[in-house]
Amino acid sequence: MGLGDGRLRNRLRLGWVAVAAVPLLFIAYLFVYPVARILSIGLAELSLGSTGLEARLLRVGWFTVWQASASTALTLILAAPMTWAVSTYEFKGRRLATALVTVPFVLPTVVVGTAFVALGFRGSVWAILAAHVFFNVAVVVRTVSSLWSRIDPALLDAGRVLGASEWKVFRLVTLPLLKPAIAAAASIVFLFTFTSFGVVLILGGFQLATLEVEIYRQAVTLFDLPLAAALAIVQLLGVTGALYAYSRYQERRSVSWTLDSGTGRKRPAGRALTLVWLAVGSTLAILAAPIGVLVVRSGTADSYLRLVSDDPIAGSPIGSVGNSLLFAVISMTVAVVIGVMASAVITGRRGKLSRWFDLVLMLPLGTSAVTVGFGFIVALDWPVDIRATLWLVPLAHALVAVPFVVRSTVPTLRSIQPETREAARVLGASPWQVWRRIDLPIVSRAAFVGAGFAFVVSLGEFGATSFVARPNTATMPVMIFRLLERPGQASFGMAMALSVVLATLTAIVVLWLDRARVGDIGRF
């Protein structure tokens, strides 16, 4: 009996090693190895060559930090009225308003940039800031309101009973309790805008370049790979520093208090009702304007009909639709297989090893997409050169999509009671049979939600794809950028039309995700 138990333990141990090896090899070859190559190139001896180049790089670094800080501050200001309304009051249409404010956030960055080009704001610092605010309002509304709505009303009533005005209650009670949530939202917005690529490239070009855009310029336009690698290191250090500062702030400023159920929102009446509708209506109107103008500027049916014809320079717009869908299916399949295997390891093993495994798989989300694409170009020629193959684009997309699958499936796997698996083993089921008959049926729906996220990520990915796509493998975001760079009203109309197609495909998948999610799985 003891010998049989030992063999079973050995089989289980070997099984876990085999399952863990696949995602580890995936992340090692497609992320750790390319980033290490960038570090080795960037740390080599560099010669800037001229004081003019030094001055430009200093301007780029300063502009990156400045625009990210300004975008974060403006986003917090614009999102404040609607955050107050949906957190404090229960009114008809609140859920719909909260869903609508999320739509800009899930749109591909190229679509957002194109929408502001349609408004005529291209080539301006204010265009970049406005697009970043448009894109990130949902982060503040959803992050802060989830905590604000759960503040125990008794805490606020106590201040009112003591004679404090509404403003004083907010300043002395509500705001201190919300500081961790506000800091979380601000840090997310700052990181998104610090590493922003598509929006800045389309609206600012190389004249208003951030570090992300300058890496692209040095690598793709000027072919200065050592300098591009050095800038990628600077950006990685900046992201790491921002994450560290946020972590330290949360440690120092976190407060402990009892959360309410979130059902204590009041019904607005009179002046309060007017203020609520003014806050919600004005925010949604501001966010709807760029998308509405994008649809109008997409032109007549001619713009859509031109998508089926080949452009001698940009390529085939309708072909880019087929490429995007094909790559999305491939990357979704790869991401689901890798993500589910990784989730099984994370939930099946306990201790520090499991936590480190989870952390390593999340690293691509905290790394610039341009850095990932750049790493693919400089590194993936060994042991087999895959840089000119069809697989390069979907693998880049899958790398970014795997964390979404992991985050969707891990909570479901952790919800399975160990006694259920033990009962199956007692009845003679092998580890594979336990997984196939118990875990897989339970986790399958969460995996479908993760697959939907992977599909959306692939459809809209632009940063890494701009490095690795070839003329015959251009995706919709890459094609939109090429058309915007072409002179003439015909190319402009085609870019607008293709952006509407991409936005529509994204919206369809997101709506499906909202219907398919189980409980909090798949919730923003």
DSSP states along 288-316: HHHHHHHHHHT-SHHHHHGGGSPBTTTB-
Residue 465 contacts residue 479 (beta carbons within 8 Å): no
Q: Is the dihedral of CA 418, 423, 424, 425 positive or negative?
A: positive
Are 116 and 195 in contact, with CB atoms under 8 Å apart? no
Dihedral sign, Cα of residue 511, residue 513, residue 516, residue 518: negative
Asked whether 213 and 206 are in contact (CB, 8 A), the reply is yes
Calpha distance 323→459 (Å, rounded) = 10
d(CA 79, CA 91): 18
Alpha helices in 271-382 (DSSP H): 271-297, 301-305, 317-348, 352-362, 369-379
Phi, psi of 298 (to 5 degrees): -65, -15
Report the distance separating Cα 518 and Cα 442, nearest Å.
Answer: 11
Q: What is the pLDDT of residue 19?
A: 81
- Helix, strand, coil shares of the chain, percent, nearest 5, are 80, 0, 20
Q: Show Cβ contacts of residue 439 under 8 Å, excluding neighbours closer than 6 positions.
A: 344, 413, 416, 421
pLDDT at 331: 95
Q: Among 272, 256, 269, 265, which Cα is nearest to 146's?
A: 265
Quick check: 148 and 88 in contact, CB under 8 A? yes
Q: What is the pLDDT of residue 4?
A: 53
Residue with structure tokens 């069809």?
Answer: 390
- Both tokens of residue 311? 């452009």
CB-based contacts of 2, cutoff 8 Å, min separation 6:
none
pLDDT value of residue 178: 81
The string of DSSP codes covering 208-240 is T--HHHHHHIIIIIS--HHHHHHHHHHHHHHHH
Mean pLDDT by 10 residues, the chain (524 residues): 57 74 92 86 62 78 93 94 88 81 80 85 88 90 79 72 74 79 84 88 90 86 81 79 66 51 67 88 90 80 82 79 94 93 79 70 76 86 82 91 83 73 71 74 80 87 86 88 84 87 83 57 44
CA gap 488, 490 in Å, rounded? 6
pLDDT at 358: 74
CATH number for the segment(s) 49-297: 1.10.3720.10
pLDDT value at residue 1: 47
User: What is the pTM (predicted TM-score) of this model?
Assistant: 0.76
Fold topology of 9-40+298-524: MetI-like fold (1.10.3720)
- Return d(Cα 39, Cα 229) in angstroms, integer: 7
Where b means 16+ CB within 10 Å and e means fewer, 232-266 reads bbbbbebbeebeeebeebeeeeeeeeeeeeeeebe
In whole angstroms, what is the distance from residue 473 CA to residue 458 CA?
Answer: 13
Return the exposure string of 123-138: e unless at least 16 CB atoms fall within 10 Å of the residue's CB, then b.
eeeebbbbbbbbbbbb
pLDDT at 62: 93
C-alpha pair distances (Å), 402 with each of 330, 363, 448: 13, 11, 13
Q: Could you give the CA distance from residue 180 to residue 182 in angstroms, rounded to a whole number?
A: 5
* CATH 1.10.3720.10, the chain: domain bounds: 9-40+298-524, 49-297
**Residues whose CB falls within 8 Å of the CB of residue 443, separated by 6 or more in sequence, listed in order:** 340, 343, 409, 412, 413
- DSSP class of residue 48 equals -
